[in-house]
Protein backbone atom coordinates (compact mmCIF):
# COMPACT_ATOMS: atom_id res chain seq x y z
CA UNK A 1 0.00 0.00 0.00
CA UNK A 2 1.34 3.41 -0.95
CA UNK A 3 1.53 6.37 1.43
CA UNK A 4 -1.11 8.14 -0.58
CA UNK A 5 -3.49 5.20 -0.23
CA UNK A 6 -2.87 5.05 3.50
CA UNK A 7 -3.56 8.75 3.78
CA UNK A 8 -6.75 8.37 1.75
CA UNK A 9 -8.03 5.53 3.93
CA UNK A 10 -7.33 7.49 7.12
CA UNK A 11 -9.12 10.49 5.70
CA UNK A 12 -12.05 8.33 4.59
CA UNK A 13 -12.63 6.93 8.08
CA UNK A 14 -12.20 10.34 9.68
CA UNK A 15 -14.88 11.69 7.40
CA UNK A 16 -17.21 8.80 8.27
CA UNK A 17 -16.68 9.52 11.95
CA UNK A 18 -17.91 13.06 11.43
CA UNK A 19 -21.22 11.74 10.15
CA UNK A 20 -21.84 8.64 12.23
CA UNK A 21 -24.53 6.57 10.62
CA UNK A 22 -24.42 3.73 13.08
CA UNK A 23 -26.49 4.11 16.17
CA UNK A 24 -25.59 2.40 19.42
CA UNK A 25 -28.20 -0.10 20.43
CA UNK A 26 -30.27 0.03 23.53
CA UNK A 27 -27.68 -0.97 26.13
CA UNK A 28 -30.41 -2.20 28.47
CA UNK A 29 -30.51 -5.41 26.48
CA UNK A 30 -26.89 -6.13 27.32
CA UNK A 31 -26.76 -5.18 30.97
CA UNK A 32 -24.84 -6.95 33.65
CA UNK A 33 -22.38 -9.02 31.70
CA UNK A 34 -19.42 -8.79 29.42
CA UNK A 35 -20.38 -10.32 26.11
CA UNK A 36 -17.59 -11.72 24.01
CA UNK A 37 -17.55 -13.70 20.80
CA UNK A 38 -14.38 -15.47 19.79
CA UNK A 39 -13.84 -15.44 16.05
CA UNK A 40 -11.36 -16.92 13.63
CA UNK A 41 -10.30 -15.51 10.31
CA UNK A 42 -9.98 -18.85 8.56
CA UNK A 43 -7.93 -18.29 5.42
CA UNK A 44 -5.11 -20.87 5.27
CA UNK A 45 -2.89 -20.25 2.23
CA UNK A 46 -5.30 -17.76 0.67
CA UNK A 47 -4.13 -14.82 2.77
CA UNK A 48 -0.53 -15.10 1.62
CA UNK A 49 0.72 -16.84 4.77
CA UNK A 50 1.17 -20.45 3.77
CA UNK A 51 2.34 -22.14 6.94
CA UNK A 52 1.31 -25.67 6.11
CA UNK A 53 -1.83 -25.75 8.21
CA UNK A 54 -3.63 -29.06 7.73
CA UNK A 55 -7.14 -30.39 8.30
CA UNK A 56 -5.78 -32.15 11.38
CA UNK A 57 -4.71 -28.81 12.88
CA UNK A 58 -8.24 -27.53 12.42
CA UNK A 59 -9.68 -30.69 14.03
CA UNK A 60 -7.38 -30.22 17.03
CA UNK A 61 -8.51 -26.63 17.43
CA UNK A 62 -12.14 -27.75 17.28
CA UNK A 63 -11.40 -30.45 19.88
CA UNK A 64 -9.99 -27.79 22.17
CA UNK A 65 -13.07 -25.59 21.71
CA UNK A 66 -15.25 -28.60 22.58
CA UNK A 67 -13.21 -29.17 25.74
CA UNK A 68 -13.95 -25.64 26.99
CA UNK A 69 -17.47 -25.71 25.54
CA UNK A 70 -17.23 -22.38 23.69
CA UNK A 71 -19.03 -21.85 20.40
CA UNK A 72 -17.18 -19.52 18.04
CA UNK A 73 -17.57 -17.74 14.71
CA UNK A 74 -15.43 -18.70 11.71
CA UNK A 75 -15.02 -15.99 9.09
CA UNK A 76 -14.02 -18.34 6.32
CA UNK A 77 -12.54 -17.56 2.92
CA UNK A 78 -14.82 -18.95 0.21
CA UNK A 79 -12.01 -20.81 -1.50
CA UNK A 80 -11.60 -22.86 1.68
CA UNK A 81 -15.23 -23.93 1.42
CA UNK A 82 -14.34 -25.28 -2.02
CA UNK A 83 -10.97 -26.82 -1.27
CA UNK A 84 -11.29 -27.99 2.31
CA UNK A 85 -15.00 -28.75 2.66
CA UNK A 86 -14.42 -31.38 5.38
CA UNK A 87 -13.11 -28.75 7.76
CA UNK A 88 -16.10 -26.52 7.03
CA UNK A 89 -18.55 -29.38 7.73
CA UNK A 90 -16.72 -30.08 10.99
CA UNK A 91 -16.98 -26.41 12.02
CA UNK A 92 -20.73 -26.41 11.42
CA UNK A 93 -21.49 -29.84 12.86
CA UNK A 94 -19.76 -28.95 16.12
CA UNK A 95 -22.05 -25.99 16.58
CA UNK A 96 -19.82 -23.14 15.45
CA UNK A 97 -20.90 -20.42 13.08
CA UNK A 98 -19.77 -20.28 9.45
CA UNK A 99 -19.42 -16.70 8.21
CA UNK A 100 -17.68 -14.91 5.36
CA UNK A 101 -14.17 -13.51 5.06
CA UNK A 102 -14.85 -12.89 1.33
CA UNK A 103 -14.48 -15.50 -1.40
CA UNK A 104 -10.87 -14.77 -2.30
CA UNK A 105 -9.57 -12.70 0.63
CA UNK A 106 -9.93 -9.29 -0.92
CA UNK A 107 -10.73 -6.00 0.71
CA UNK A 108 -12.21 -2.71 -0.46
CA UNK A 109 -9.67 -0.03 -1.41
CA UNK A 110 -7.61 -2.78 -3.07
CA UNK A 111 -10.12 -3.71 -5.76
CA UNK A 112 -12.91 -2.16 -7.76
CA UNK A 113 -16.55 -2.26 -6.72
CA UNK A 114 -17.26 -4.48 -9.69
CA UNK A 115 -14.74 -7.06 -8.51
CA UNK A 116 -16.12 -6.89 -4.99
CA UNK A 117 -19.61 -7.53 -6.31
CA UNK A 118 -18.31 -10.56 -8.23
CA UNK A 119 -16.65 -11.82 -5.09
CA UNK A 120 -20.00 -11.82 -3.27
CA UNK A 121 -21.53 -13.73 -6.16
CA UNK A 122 -18.73 -16.32 -6.12
CA UNK A 123 -19.24 -16.95 -2.44
CA UNK A 124 -22.94 -17.31 -2.87
CA UNK A 125 -22.50 -19.80 -5.74
CA UNK A 126 -20.36 -22.26 -3.79
CA UNK A 127 -22.60 -22.49 -0.76
CA UNK A 128 -25.02 -25.36 -0.65
CA UNK A 129 -28.60 -24.41 -0.05
CA UNK A 130 -28.48 -25.63 3.52
CA UNK A 131 -25.61 -23.29 4.44
CA UNK A 132 -26.62 -19.74 4.98
CA UNK A 133 -24.11 -17.22 6.17
CA UNK A 134 -25.14 -14.14 8.07
CA UNK A 135 -21.89 -12.59 9.20
CA UNK A 136 -19.02 -10.87 7.45
CA UNK A 137 -15.52 -9.77 8.40
CA UNK A 138 -13.56 -7.88 5.81
CA UNK A 139 -9.89 -8.77 5.27
CA UNK A 140 -7.61 -6.22 6.96
CA UNK A 141 -10.73 -4.93 8.69
CA UNK A 142 -11.29 -2.50 5.81
CA UNK A 143 -14.80 -1.39 5.00
CA UNK A 144 -16.53 1.27 2.96
CA UNK A 145 -20.05 2.61 2.64
CA UNK A 146 -20.49 0.75 -0.64
CA UNK A 147 -19.34 -2.50 0.98
CA UNK A 148 -22.04 -2.06 3.64
CA UNK A 149 -24.60 -1.54 0.90
CA UNK A 150 -23.49 -4.77 -0.77
CA UNK A 151 -23.78 -6.63 2.51
CA UNK A 152 -27.34 -5.41 2.88
CA UNK A 153 -28.14 -6.37 -0.70
CA UNK A 154 -26.77 -9.85 -0.12
CA UNK A 155 -28.87 -10.36 3.00
CA UNK A 156 -26.10 -10.37 5.56
CA UNK A 157 -27.19 -9.62 9.12
CA UNK A 158 -24.03 -8.15 10.56
CA UNK A 159 -20.37 -7.36 10.03
CA UNK A 160 -17.43 -6.96 12.36
CA UNK A 161 -15.38 -3.79 12.34
CA UNK A 162 -12.20 -2.80 14.14
CA UNK A 163 -12.94 -0.35 16.88
CA UNK A 164 -10.84 2.78 16.77
CA UNK A 165 -12.10 4.42 19.93
CA UNK A 166 -12.21 3.19 23.51
CA UNK A 167 -15.94 3.78 23.54
CA UNK A 168 -16.47 1.37 20.65
CA UNK A 169 -17.42 -1.65 22.68
CA UNK A 170 -21.11 -1.76 21.97
CA UNK A 171 -22.70 -2.87 18.74
CA UNK A 172 -24.57 -0.41 16.62
CA UNK A 173 -27.15 -0.76 13.96
CA UNK A 174 -27.14 0.94 10.63
CA UNK A 175 -29.52 3.77 10.04
CA UNK A 176 -29.99 2.61 6.45
CA UNK A 177 -32.45 -0.09 7.44
CA UNK A 178 -33.32 -2.06 10.51
CA UNK A 179 -31.74 -5.17 11.90
CA UNK A 180 -28.35 -4.85 10.26
CA UNK A 181 -25.74 -4.80 13.00
CA UNK A 182 -22.13 -3.85 13.28
CA UNK A 183 -20.20 -5.62 16.02
CA UNK A 184 -16.91 -4.13 17.21
CA UNK A 185 -13.77 -6.18 17.68
CA UNK A 186 -11.19 -5.12 20.24
CA UNK A 187 -8.41 -6.80 18.33
CA UNK A 188 -6.88 -10.01 17.13
CA UNK A 189 -3.65 -12.00 17.46
CA UNK A 190 -1.73 -9.94 14.90
CA UNK A 191 0.22 -7.90 17.51
CA UNK A 192 1.10 -11.16 19.28
CA UNK A 193 2.37 -12.62 16.01
CA UNK A 194 4.39 -9.52 15.03
CA UNK A 195 5.75 -9.11 18.57
CA UNK A 196 6.45 -12.85 18.94
CA UNK A 197 4.66 -12.89 22.31
CA UNK A 198 5.14 -15.78 24.68
CA UNK A 199 2.27 -17.58 26.40
CA UNK A 200 1.99 -15.15 29.33
CA UNK A 201 2.29 -12.04 27.13
CA UNK A 202 -0.42 -13.33 24.82
CA UNK A 203 -2.72 -14.07 27.74
CA UNK A 204 -2.06 -10.67 29.36
CA UNK A 205 -2.56 -8.78 26.11
CA UNK A 206 -6.10 -10.07 25.74
CA UNK A 207 -7.17 -10.32 29.38
CA UNK A 208 -6.17 -6.68 30.02
CA UNK A 209 -8.30 -5.54 27.10
CA UNK A 210 -11.23 -7.61 28.28
CA UNK A 211 -10.99 -6.44 31.87
CA UNK A 212 -11.19 -2.82 30.70
CA UNK A 213 -14.59 -3.42 29.12
CA UNK A 214 -17.58 -1.76 30.76
CA UNK A 215 -20.49 -3.88 31.91
CA UNK A 216 -22.80 -4.85 29.10
CA UNK A 217 -20.13 -4.48 26.42
CA UNK A 218 -20.35 -6.76 23.39
CA UNK A 219 -17.14 -7.29 21.45
CA UNK A 220 -15.25 -9.83 19.39
CA UNK A 221 -11.70 -11.11 19.85
CA UNK A 222 -10.04 -12.63 16.83
CA UNK A 223 -7.51 -15.33 16.06
CA UNK A 224 -5.99 -16.83 12.93
CA UNK A 225 -5.67 -20.62 12.98
CA UNK A 226 -2.38 -20.31 11.06
CA UNK A 227 -0.91 -18.04 13.78
CA UNK A 228 -1.84 -20.60 16.45
CA UNK A 229 -0.26 -23.38 14.39
CA UNK A 230 2.97 -21.53 13.64
CA UNK A 231 3.54 -20.20 17.17
CA UNK A 232 2.92 -22.62 20.00
CA UNK A 233 3.45 -19.98 22.69
CA UNK A 234 0.59 -17.90 21.28
CA UNK A 235 -1.50 -21.08 21.02
CA UNK A 236 -0.87 -21.85 24.70
CA UNK A 237 -1.73 -18.24 25.66
CA UNK A 238 -4.93 -18.53 23.65
CA UNK A 239 -5.87 -21.78 25.42
CA UNK A 240 -5.15 -20.28 28.82
CA UNK A 241 -7.37 -17.30 27.98
CA UNK A 242 -10.31 -19.40 26.81
CA UNK A 243 -10.04 -21.83 29.73
CA UNK A 244 -10.18 -18.87 32.12
CA UNK A 245 -13.05 -17.17 30.36
CA UNK A 246 -15.04 -20.40 30.14
CA UNK A 247 -15.21 -20.72 33.93
CA UNK A 248 -15.73 -17.02 34.80
CA UNK A 249 -19.40 -16.39 35.07
CA UNK A 250 -19.15 -12.68 34.28
CA UNK A 251 -18.54 -13.47 30.61
CA UNK A 252 -21.22 -14.50 28.22
CA UNK A 253 -19.65 -16.27 25.26
CA UNK A 254 -21.44 -17.46 22.16
CA UNK A 255 -21.33 -16.99 18.41
CA UNK A 256 -21.74 -13.51 16.93
CA UNK A 257 -24.94 -14.59 15.19
CA UNK A 258 -26.41 -15.86 18.46
CA UNK A 259 -25.82 -12.39 19.92
CA UNK A 260 -27.53 -10.96 16.85
CA UNK A 261 -30.53 -13.21 17.45
CA UNK A 262 -30.68 -12.27 21.13
CA UNK A 263 -30.72 -8.60 20.17
CA UNK A 264 -33.34 -8.84 17.46
CA UNK A 265 -35.72 -11.42 18.88
CA UNK A 266 -38.09 -10.91 21.74
ZN1 LIG B 1 -7.78 -12.25 6.63
40 CA to centre of ligand 1 in angstroms: 9
Q: Which residue has the higher pLDDT, 211 or 172?
A: 211
Stretch 155-167: mean pLDDT: 79
In this structure, the strands spanning 34-42 and 218-223 are: parallel
Instruction: Provide the pLDDT for residue 9.
Output: 75
37 CA to centre of ligand 1 in angstroms: 17
The pLDDT tens digits of the residues spanning 205-247 come to 999 999 888 888 899 999 999 999 999 999 999 999 999 999 9
Instruction: Provide the pLDDT for residue 220.
Output: 95
What mean pLDDT value characterizes the chain? 87
**Which pLDDT band holds residue 189 (cuts at 50, 70, 90)?**
very high
29 CA to centre of ligand 1 in angstroms: 31
Instruction: Provide the pLDDT for residue 223.
Output: 98
68 CA to centre of ligand 1 in angstroms: 25
172 CA to centre of ligand 1 in angstroms: 23
**Which pLDDT band holds residue 131 (cuts at 50, 70, 90)?**
confident
228 CA to centre of ligand 1 in angstroms: 14
Residues in the chain, how many?
Answer: 266
Stretch 115-139: mean pLDDT: 89
139 CA to centre of ligand 1 in angstroms: 4
How far apart CA 158 and CA 210 sit, in angstroms, is 22
Task: Count the Cβ atoms, other than its own, within 10 Å of residue 82.
Answer: 13
106 CA to centre of ligand 1 in angstroms: 8
Stretch 176-194: mean pLDDT: 85
Nearest to 220 by CA among 62, 21, 39, 17: 39
234 CA to centre of ligand 1 in angstroms: 18
**In the chain, beta strands by DSSP E:** 22-24, 34-42, 73-76, 97-100, 135-137, 158-162, 172-174, 181-188, 218-223, 251-253
Domain count, the chain: 1
Instruction: Provide the pLDDT for residue 257.
Output: 95
- Model pTM? 0.90
Instruction: Provide the pLDDT for residue 17.
Output: 63
103 CA to centre of ligand 1 in angstroms: 11
104 CA to centre of ligand 1 in angstroms: 10
C-alpha 120, offset from chain centre: 17
Instruction: Provide the pLDDT for residue 20.
Output: 55
**Which pLDDT band holds residue 82 (cuts at 50, 70, 90)?**
very high
- HSE-up of 44 (CA within 13 Å, CB side)? 21
Q: Is the pLDDT of residue 179 over 80?
A: no
15 CA to centre of ligand 1 in angstroms: 25
**Which pLDDT band holds residue 33 (cuts at 50, 70, 90)?**
confident
105 CA to centre of ligand 1 in angstroms: 6
Q: What is the CATH number of the domain that holds 59?
A: 3.20.20.370
What domain range includes position 80?
3-264
74 CA to centre of ligand 1 in angstroms: 11
Amino acid sequence: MTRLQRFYIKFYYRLLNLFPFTKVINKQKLNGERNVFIYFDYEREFSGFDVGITNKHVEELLDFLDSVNIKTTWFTVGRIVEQYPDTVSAIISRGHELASHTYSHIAPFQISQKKLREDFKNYHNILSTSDSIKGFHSPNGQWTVSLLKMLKENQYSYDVFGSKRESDCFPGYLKIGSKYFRFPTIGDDWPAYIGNYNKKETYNYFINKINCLPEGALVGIGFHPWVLVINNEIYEGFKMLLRDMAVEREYKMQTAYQFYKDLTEG
